[in-house]
Amino acid sequence: MGKSANELLTQEQFNAVCSTVQTDNPDVSEDDAAVIVAEALAFIATCVLFPAARLVPSRVVDAGWRALILHTQTYAELCARLGGFVHHRPEEPEPSRYDQDVIDRTTALIEEAGYSVDLDLWGPPDGDLVSVAAKCQHSDASGPIVPIPKPKG
Give residue 21's domain range: 5-148
This prediction's pTM: 0.83
Is 153 a member of any domain?
Answer: no
82 falls within a domain: yes
User: Contact, 100 vs 51, CB < 8 A?
Assistant: no
- CA dist 111 and 10 (Å) reads 22
Please, which pLDDT band fits residue 93 given cuts at 50, 70 and 90?
A: low
Is the per-residue pLDDT at 131 higher than 90? no
The two beta strands, 85-87 and 146-148, are: antiparallel
Domain assignment of residue 59, yes or no: yes
Model confidence at 100, pLDDT cuts 50, 70, 90, reads confident
Count of beta carbons in the 10 Å neighbourhood of residue 10: 12
Q: How many domains does the chain have?
A: 1
In this structure, of 22-26, 97-101, 117-121, 135-139, the range with the lowest mean pLDDT score is 135-139
Q: Give the span between the Cα atoms of 68 and 16, in whole angstroms.
A: 9
pLDDT for 108-130, tens place per residue? 999 999 999 999 999 877 665 55
**What's residue 128's pLDDT?**
55
CA distance 141 to 3: 27
Residue 92 lies in a domain: yes
Length of the chain, please? 153
Does 84 map to a domain? yes
